[in-house]
Structures are given as structure tokens and as C-alpha cells.
Amino acid sequence: MIAIVGSGMMAATLLPNDVGLQLLQNAAAVAGALIGLIITFASVSGAHFNPAVTLVDRLMRDITTREAARYVVAQLGGGLVGVMVANIMFWDEAGGGVITISAQDRGGAPHLLSEVVATIGLLLVVHGAVHYGKADVVALAVGVWIGGAIFFTSSTSFVNPAVTMNRMFSDTFTGIGRG
């Protein structure tokens, strides 16, 4: 969440009049941070950052219900802490609050369809790589998929329920709200 929200605030600060470059900076930072985090935490928790991936792993019986529940709690809590830290690091850009409720309208059918497509794609990338013996490239594949999805979806790719829920607590470039 720090990478998503923080890079969005940095991009909006550096290029206040160029939303395209803001999106490019955000996509590059998110993709790079995600690759690094997946590599770092793959051996600890399987790099479970996404409740959708965790749910599929549970349905496929790769993890227990107890493990899945722990992961989801950590994903939601970690996401909230990440947003709060980003809001503190960019205090003025975040409106001077640890939590600020987003007014960025990202609702509607086109955004929902974007998220369904991006999430299914992510699940295929993750599970396809693992299933076909390419687990060593999951980090790169996920980072590239998410970086691209930020551009090819009208929603700018939330893909992760923990990310979606926690981005509403930052009224910034990457915030999610109903406008």
C-alpha cells in the first residue's frame, strides 16, 4: 500500500498537470515494489498479499482455512497500516490526516468489469506459473501483469480486495471512493 499510495502522491506532486505520466510513475513503482516484495516473502508466506489469491489457494486446498484466515487478516491490517504510513509520509498531499476518505470516483460497471478481467488475469498468471513449474518467475510475471493492468483497465487495476478496501482511506491520486 505504501508503494501504491506513496508513488501516486509523489507522481501527483512532481507532475500535477500530467495524469498520463502520473499513471506511468505509479505503475512502475507498484510493479517494481511488488516484484521485490514477492521475492522477499515467497519463502515466508508464499507472498500472500491478495485475499483473492488466498481464497483460490484455499479452494485448491493448498492452504488450510486457518492459514487463509490469518493471511486475510494480515492483508487487510497490513494494507491499512501501509495507507496510514503513506499518508503520514506525504502529509500535505494527503490532506493532513493519517486517514482521509477518498472522493475519487472509481465506481460503475466499466470499473467492475475491469476488475473482474484484471483479477482473473492475475489468478491465471499466478496459478499458471506455479502449475507449469515456473514458480521462479511468479514475482516478475505478477509485477509485469499488475504494471500493465494499471494501464489497460479503466479502473487503474485494484485487483486485490485488501488494496481496494484500504485505498478508500487516502483522498489522493490512488484513492478509491464514490466521488
Domain containing residue 84: CATH number: 1.20.1080.10
Residue 66 lies in a domain: yes
Cα separation, 15 vs 8, in Å, equals: 10
Distances (CA, A) of 145 to 47, 88, 103: 16, 29, 27
Cα separation, 75 vs 47, in Å, equals: 11
What cell does 2 get?
Answer: 505504501
Q: Residues 49-67, buried b or exposed e (16+ Cβ, 10 A)?
A: bbbbbbbbbbeeeebeeeb
* pLDDT in the model for residue 179: 57
Average pLDDT for 80-104: 93
Residue 174 lies in a domain: no
DSSP 8-class letter at 51: H
Domain that residue 78 falls in: 2-167
Cα separation, 1 vs 27, in Å, equals: 13
Mean pLDDT over the full length of the chain: 94
For the chain, how many structural domains are there in total? 1
Residues sharing a CB contact under 8 Å with residue 108, sequence separation 6 or more, in sequence order: none
Average pLDDT for 72-95: 95
Residue 153 lies in a domain: yes
Average pLDDT for 14-28: 96
Residue 13 lies in a domain: yes
Span 37-72, pLDDT tens digits: 999 999 988 899 999 999 999 999 999 999 999 999
Residue 47 lies in a domain: yes
| Number of CB atoms found within 10 A of residue 146's CB | 24
Residue 179 lies in a domain: no
Query: How big is the chain, counted in residues?
Result: 179
Residue 41 lies in a domain: yes
Cα separation, 128 vs 166, in Å, equals: 28
Distances (CA, A) of 126 to 60, 129, 158, 167: 13, 5, 16, 23
Residue 172 lies in a domain: no
